[in-house]
Structure 1
């Protein structure tokens, strides 16, 4: 029998239905893999007892013939999603051992459909980071290594634990969140598939907030089909989230394998950056040719305000973070550092509880929202955001179905290599991804090749609002042309 951890969700679903193995056996195989891979630090909390209990319940339902679409499928959950009676920390010291008495909408829908919880996955503290080095539980290690090197690499961030666990076969899929690229960049760094849905497609209720107008939940999986299967369970209207959109959730899996003939694919000239590595340029060109060979039409498009996206994003996101993180004050839950009065208690708690990157962003956000600076920074950034959104609208109005770009400006880098002296160096990793969040659009990252050192590289497809189906169809074309990539096991 094939090693159960190497199956895709689609394959596992068939195996469970045909009684080739049980959900309990599938879960036990993943629990053993997690135990053997703790060096990767992908999980911050393992839940073996809960996993076995859920797997056995799935087996009973499968035997009765009423298993849900994810019955018995073992998943990892990013530690930003509230899980009832299971510790949820956002990988921050300030939340301490917070155990929520409620379940996030997205995870409750996964459990409704029969999925199994393996544990909580590591992420950058409050999702603030592009490398998963800011977590209070320490950095996550990418299962990929440069050829002939033992250097430990970052898996990308903030959903680094999710991407690393999926790539290392420690779960069949994972939940993730994306505020400026936190699903797509780690997916590109680990040869996994990650989709950031349209803003409002997945409920944000029960997910620890970073920047509320930008945050969106989505899946990371091993294949485009698996991502589509997970997305169908995760998406849907939620009256508890006022930004959740009440439109029907399509069968995303049905889009896999659909013809892309006559689709117009935009190639934005502004994404050709000065000093962009030749291998990224080559991959981008190859991806375009694969889509053309499948019948799509390539057209050059212009997104003139792209160059302002990163600076505008790093005003809007910290501003919203500073507001959202004001609730962590040591009064109601989480860490409390005493002081001689309440003000000193606030100060001590927040100084001790937040890491350097979170403190940096809270300070930036508070500054740009303060009297005298609000108009100069925040208001102007919001105006730029409107222009970025209009750029995309103009493209789509000309009949463009999707836009193809690189996912990242480079392959994965070493732990500790970037951002130490200059945080902006780290922020530049988001250069191809932040526009999608600023415009509220869907974007998918698909593995497309390797660099000269054998590390995976991804391509990004950006779609029209609520047209994730087109992205899945196009993503499948790239996946079929590029082939699948698996990290060589060294741990």
Structure 2
């Protein structure tokens, strides 16, 4: 029999419903798997009792003949950006160390209402700021992958949702929540050979999710395959009156609508995404993706997104500006860390708490954001960046007049070694070159694994869709998944 921890969300859900195994057996298997994988540093807090309680509830409901909940029997990992009642939530930052929310984020509550259990809180880049999970105050997450060419250096699992990507790839959980501000679901999914989707901005509530950049942040699922992402996203999404940016729309039945038949669909290839210095393996995979989608019945057209080259600079003005405002609340007064030097006044306490509590990358972005919002620079930087953002959104609108979805690489490289780029913030920021434009436009976008590079590391392909067309994105992702036949998984060393 297949090990329970090798099963994905759909297989666990269906197996529990059929009585092939109990939900408790599943929870116990994953709890043991999590407990035995400390070397990955993927979990900040383990919550085996939460997983077991949800499993027992699922088993009791089945025994009583009650209609099963959508995720009954499925244990998941929760990124430590989502507030969870009674369970510490730190956003991987010392400044929130010791903070235990008394309330539940809407996304996590939706998942518990659907029957899911929580295996624990997942490590991440501090306040979701990073592309390699090296900015966490609680140590780096290690990718479960290793280079096949003899290189044994620990690799980055991507970021900011690096704990989520590492845990799903290593079979510590069948699915996990992530958040995506500029690529933080898609890039780590590509680095670790899993799938992840950022839905349209507003599909998932931001209430109870620790804010980074409020006009960009969006929750989404990370899982083994496209179907599992669709199942999990259905449970996560929905209107929330507590979030002013939440979309008041019914949640589509994405899983039921899945189809890899793309006859009559047009796939756009953005010519501006062919960046200088792109590795040959990425270029080859992109062309392979084109061939796969053509084989699925799609027509391939070239499109232009002329303002793409301005997306990264615009993003690294807008996101830090919003972060400098959002993170002003962490001042040592109400919750979390407080540093109070002897004889210090209020301003001294603010300064000491923030200097000690925030990591270097968070401080860097707060300072950038404060600078671009300051008098004399607001119009020169922030206002200009917002104008560029509008132009980028218009580029996508015009491209979607000619096609239904776009195909691009997810990241400009495979996973890199920890420490390889951390000394150069600009090199790190370039990881988001393919993911940031769709984030600025609020579009649904997904990464699916397409193959391996010469060193045996996963590479991802990205599908970008029209606003609210998660179904089109999932369908194109499924078409790639079926043709890629990606079955590689990391060999356990941890």
- Determine whether 1:373 maps to 2:373: no
Q: Give CA deviations for 1:105-125 in whole Å, capped at 9, x if unaligned.
A: 001010001001100000000
- Determine whether 1:405 maps to 2:408: yes
Q: Distance in 2 between matches of 1:251 and 1:368?
A: 42
Q: Distance in 2 between matches of 1:412 and 1:429?
A: 10
- Determine whether 1:115 maps to 2:116: yes
Higher mean alpha-carbon deviation, 439-448 vs 16-25, is at 16-25
Residue 485 of structure 1 deviates from its aligned partner by 2.5
- Determine whether 1:56 maps to 2:59: no
Q: Give CA deviations for 1:326-347 in whole Å, capped at 9, x if unaligned.
A: 0000000000000410000000
Q: Distance in 2 between matches of 1:270 and 1:228?
A: 29
Q: Distance in 2 between matches of 1:277 and 1:13?
A: 39
Residue 468 of structure 1 deviates from its aligned partner by 0.3
Q: Distance in 2 between matches of 1:254 and 1:487?
A: 30
**Structure-2 residue corresponding to 1:219:** 221
Do 2:260 and 2:479's aligned partners in 1 also have CA atoms closer than 8 Å? no
Question: Could you tell me the TM-score, scaled by structure 2's length?
Answer: 0.98
- Determine whether 1:6 maps to 2:6: yes
- Determine whether 1:255 maps to 2:257: yes
Residue 254 of structure 1 deviates from its aligned partner by 1.8
Do 1:255 and 1:470's aligned partners in 2 also have CA atoms closer than 8 Å? no
- Determine whether 1:489 maps to 2:492: yes
Higher mean alpha-carbon deviation, 179-188 vs 245-254, is at 245-254
Q: How does 1:408-447 map to 2 (within 5 A)?
A: 408-420=411-423, 422-447=424-449
Q: Give CA deviations for 1:331-380 in whole Å, capped at 9, x if unaligned.
A: 00000000410000000000000000000000000000000000000000
Q: How does 1:282-301 map to 2 (within 5 A)?
A: 282-301=284-303
Structure 2: segments with no counterpart, 5+ residues = none
Residue 20 of structure 1 deviates from its aligned partner by 1.2
Q: How does 1:298-377 map to 2 (within 5 A)?
A: 298-339=300-341, 340-377=344-381
Residue 489 of structure 1 deviates from its aligned partner by 1.5
Structure 1: segments with no counterpart, 5+ residues = none
Q: How does 1:173-252 map to 2 (within 5 A)?
A: 173-252=175-254
Q: Distance in 1 between matches of 2:257 and 2:419?
A: 40
Do 1:94 and 1:328's aligned partners in 2 also have CA atoms closer than 8 Å? yes
Do 1:62 and 1:71's aligned partners in 2 also have CA atoms closer than 8 Å? no
Q: Give CA deviations for 1:173-197 in whole Å, capped at 9, x if unaligned.
A: 0000000000000000000000000
Higher mean alpha-carbon deviation, 177-186 vs 46-55, is at 46-55
Question: Could you tell me the TM-score, scaled by structure 1's length?
Answer: 0.99
Q: Give CA deviations for 1:71-113 in whole Å, capped at 9, x if unaligned.
A: 0101000000000011000000001110101000001010001
Q: Distance in 2 between matches of 1:259 and 1:62?
A: 35
Runs ≥4 residues deviating over 4 A = none
**Aligned partner of residue 475 in structure 1, secondary structure:** helix
Q: Distance in 2 between matches of 1:456 and 1:120?
A: 25
- Determine whether 1:84 maps to 2:85: yes
Q: Distance in 2 between matches of 1:261 and 1:450?
A: 28
Number of matched pairs: 489
Say which of 388, 395, 408 aligns to 2:392. 388
**Structure-1 residue corresponding to 2:471:** 469
**Aligned partner of residue 51 in structure 2, secondary structure:** helix
Q: Give CA deviations for 1:293-321 in whole Å, capped at 9, x if unaligned.
A: 11000000000000000000000000000
Residue 411 of structure 1 deviates from its aligned partner by 0.2
**Structure-1 residue corresponding to 2:146:** 145
Residue 258 of structure 1 deviates from its aligned partner by 4.5
